[in-house]
Structure 1
Amino acid sequence: MNKVHDFLHMRLLVSFFVLPLLLVSQLRGAEPKQKWTEDQANQWYADQPWLVGANFLPSDAVNELEMWQAATFDEQEIDRELGWAEGLGMNTMRVFLHNLPWEQDPTGFEHRIDRFLAIASAHHIKPIFVLFDSCWDPDPLLGPQRPPIPGVHNSGWVQAPGRVALKDPMQYPKLKSYVQGVVGAFANDPRVLAWDIWNEPDNDNQSSYGKLEPPNKKELVLNLLPQVFAWAREKQPTQPLTSGIWSGDWSSLDAMSPMARTQVEESDVITFHNYDWPEGFESRVQQLQKFHRPLICTEYMARGAGSTFDTVLPIAKRYHVGAVNWGLVKGRSQTYLPWDSWQRPYVLVTPTVWFHDVFYEDGKPYREREVEILRSLTGKQ
């Protein structure tokens, strides 16, 4: 009887103590990957070259849908233009994806991303892929895209997700499928540099489409943004996650807006946008150094606003801050025109000074001195 009693007692101990511990251990093994530590982030950055690149859209595409849809995905143009970027010493491109092509044809979209990565890799360029974006037109539609509005900056760009999906929680599972499908497909791909979860999430587009925006857009995005980070982390990517802060007070976490604070607290590496004069750029860098994480400026260079290659890029190199300017080739996006073209289209007069972009459509530099500066600072010459 004693042996039977001892056996039953042991079974009870296993049931009450050992099995729960094993279950907890298994569950921990299934937990999503956590935010990188400072050491992990800085070790990753130490393994990278000084990151210099551009926000990339082929000149024959009016927006990210025209870039990625099967009917207008142009490998030859992508290859040609990335070759010009390589010639400047650029080693990264920030490239916007979109949820709608994934929802339409996941396999086809994944194949086109893979083809883009193959072309970029051949030019020694690792892209930062942007998953969602709160800027410009809130009503994206698949199919042929409307032509650019004459004389207007970035007049065809569309948000991801659009306002209809953003306002409808019933569509969030589709957004999760897109995020996890794309990140999961390339989570271990060394050709991908990083994942930019959401571009300017609290941008309300008051100078362009403000009247069409949901009145509670910021609240909707603020609720969704941490979920998107979590969805991406569940796929265990080897690349860092980030979302770039772009406005407001960055002097401390407490001083930041709820959105900016969420972006910083969720990001493995800190990214930011700055179109200010060089003094403003340097001040922002100094503010962000307190986080002790790698810094990458994923948008800068607006000549008419005071942000230029001549003045900003040397500062970025001195602080070892990655620098990704807006625009590579003048094209259907018309980002060589200034932001105020939304209020005053440049139809009859072309601005003397380009706002963004580096090359004409034929590969001729807008300004030879800028090309010399880029090549000198990247060590290409």
Structure 2
Amino acid sequence: MKRLSFLVLLFISTISLAQQNTVLTRWSAAKANAWYAKEPFLVGSNYAPANAINELEMFQAENFDPATIDKELAMAESIGMNTMRVFLHDLLWQDAAGFTKRLDQFLTICAKHKIWPMLVLFDSCWDPYPKLGKQHEPTPGIHNSGWVQSPGADALSDVSQYPRLEAYVKGVVGAFKNDPRILAWDTWNEPDNANDNNYGQNYLKTELAKDRKIAIITRLLPQVFQWVRSAGATQPLTSGVWIYRSPDDWQNAAKWSPMEKVQFENSDIITFHQYSKPEDLEKVIPALQTFGRPIICTEYMARGVNSKFQTHLPIAKKAKIGMINWGFVAGKTQTFLPWDSWQKPYVNGREPAVWFHEVFKQDGTPVDPAEVTAIKQATGK
């Protein structure tokens, strides 16, 4: 009897260990394309309400503002937008029940306005030292002066915090794994961005050393994909490449960086960023189409570098490449200011002659009515 009990326990342990060691694989191209065939031409913005300086202020209990979100997403619906890319944060999971409730409220508002968001779990951009609680006021004249990384530098460099990060990912994904209100999960935004010209080596120098940061995340990102899959996500997963390369580079795996290899080989759908002229978009689309998977551009539209609604949306629509621009309503992120405002701040209330990002000013008027017309034409509104 004891021997039988031992064998039963051994069998259970073996099965358990095998399950732990199972590598959950990405969707087949056929499954990804079948999913995408049901989607409309996806158009939207990277979204934070005008009164939130970052993702913490957007979702913390003391700042969460459903009324403002409802008003702004109604504006998005009015011009035909049907998705938003929205950043979450690992520190928010310290109030897991409250954060889950607020995220559910947010998704309900999105659904009310026929918007299916892509949710971003981690982000390597901007301030490497995030803190819960009251966020600082915007630094006058500087683009995205209060956006924070997730996880921050301390958590990235401390493996004892990885179980906390895993609990966050599995917790938030597990809570919404079957939710049809969610378009997709973006596991990590710009994972190899070292913020050279703001917090990194060329400016404040408060970042982790560039090579060290990238090496850490290159090891961690495959685990994050596995955490999301093991949590049972029924929505597709992605992590977008963002450094501009020649189209030939994307077709040659030997030219991918180790991080890009992780991103391409684990993503169910291909996502990328494209802050460049329309001719570059026309070249990169055929290169990415060789992957045989759905493609969504998750950041574009920076007027100062000739990335615009009027030029880019018709190109993308022809190929059914989803398009999500940076910024919606001008507010505390101040991303209507250009990236180089870190070096050349727009002081004394001075504004750039050409706004960098955003669709609407804070009073609800379009930055450029011709852009809203272009968005409506693209979305058939």
Instruction: Give the TM-score normalised by structure 1.
Output: 0.92
Q: Does 1:233 align with 2:225?
A: no
Question: AA paired with 1:330?
Answer: A
CA shift, 1:332, in A, is 0.5
Tell me by how many angstroms 1:286 deviates. 1.6
Q: State whether structure 2 residue 154 is matched by structure 1 residue 164.
A: yes
Larger Rg: 1
Q: Are 2:230 and 1:214 aligned?
A: no
2:81 corresponds to 1:87: no
1:208-357 equivalences in 2 (<5 Å): 208-210=198-200, 211-215=205-209, 216-247=212-243, 248=245, 249-348=249-348, 349-357=350-358
**RMSD of aligned residue pairs (Cα, Å):** 2.1
Structure 1 residues 30 and 137: alpha-carbon distance in aligned structure 2, compared to 1, 3 A threshold: closer
Deviates more, 1:288-297 or 1:26-35: 26-35
Cα distance in structure 1, aligned partners of 2:67 and 2:335:
22
- CA separation of 1:29 and 1:65: change in aligned 2, threshold 3 A: closer
- Measured in 2, the distance between the counterparts of 1:310 and 1:265 equals 33
**Stretches of structure 2 lacking an aligned partner (at least 5 in a row):** none
Structure 1 letter corresponding to 2:272: F
Deviation per CA, 1:30-87: give whole Å up to 9, x if none: 9564210000000000011111100000000111111010000000000000000011
Counterpart of 1:34 in structure 2 is 25
Query: Are the counterparts in 1 of residues 304 and 354 from structure 2 also a CA contact under 8 Å?
Result: yes
Q: Is the 8 A contact 1:32 1:233 kept in 2?
A: no
Q: Could you tell me how far 1:133 is from its partner in structure 2?
A: 0.3
Residue 3 (structure 1) aligns with: none
Alignment counterpart, residue 37 of structure 2, candidates 41, 46, 53: 46
Amino acid at match of 2:223: Q
Identify if the C-alpha distance between structure 1 residues 25 and 44 changes in structure 2 by more than 3 Å, giving closer, same or farther: farther
- Structure 1: 5+ residue runs without aligned partners? 1-11
Cα distance in 2 between the residues matched to 1:282 and 1:70: 43
| 1:74 equivalent in alignment to 2:65 | yes
Q: Following the alignment from structure 2 to structure 1, what is the Cα–Cα distance between the partners of residues 35 and 16?
A: 28
Q: 1:221 is matched by which residue type in structure 2?
A: I
- Distance in 2 (CA, whole Å) between partners of 1:134 and 1:29 is 28
- Tell me how far 1:322 sits from its aligned partner: 0.3
Output the amino acid matched with 1:275.
Answer: Y
1:116 aligns with 2:81: no
Give the direction of change, closer, same or farther, for the CA distance of 1:25–1:331 in structure 2 (3 Å limit).
Answer: closer
**Aligned counterparts, 1:104-183, within 5 A:** 105-183=95-173
Secondary structure at 2:290 match in 1: helix
User: What is the CA distance between 1:257 and its match in structure 2?
Assistant: 0.8
The one-letter code matched in structure 2 to 1:357 is: E
Farther-moved stretch of structure 1 (325-334 vs 361-370)? 361-370
Q: String of CA shifts for 1:202-243, please: whole Å, max 9, x gaps.
A: 000010000112121000111100000001100111100000
What residue is the counterpart of 1:62 in the other structure? 53
TM-fit CA distance, 1:135? 0.2
Runs of 4+ deviating beyond 2 Å: 23-34, 248-251
CA distance in 1, matches of 2:365, 2:134: 29
Matched residues in 2 for 1:332 and 1:39: separation? Answer: 42
Look up the match of 1:7.
none
* CA deviation map 1:139-167 (0-9, x unaligned): 00011000111010011000000000000
Structure 1 residues 219 and 26: CA distance shift in structure 2, 3 A: closer
Which piece of structure 1 moves more, 161-170 or 352-361? 352-361
Shift of 1:361: 1.3
Distance 2:28 2:85 in 1: 24
Q: Is the 8 A contact 2:251 2:290 kept in 1?
A: no
What is the CA-CA distance between 1:251 and the residue it aligns to?
Answer: 3.4
Instruction: Please give the alpha-carbon distance, in whole angstroms, between the structure 2 residues aligned to 1:207 and 1:51.
Output: 32
Aligned match of 1:360: 361
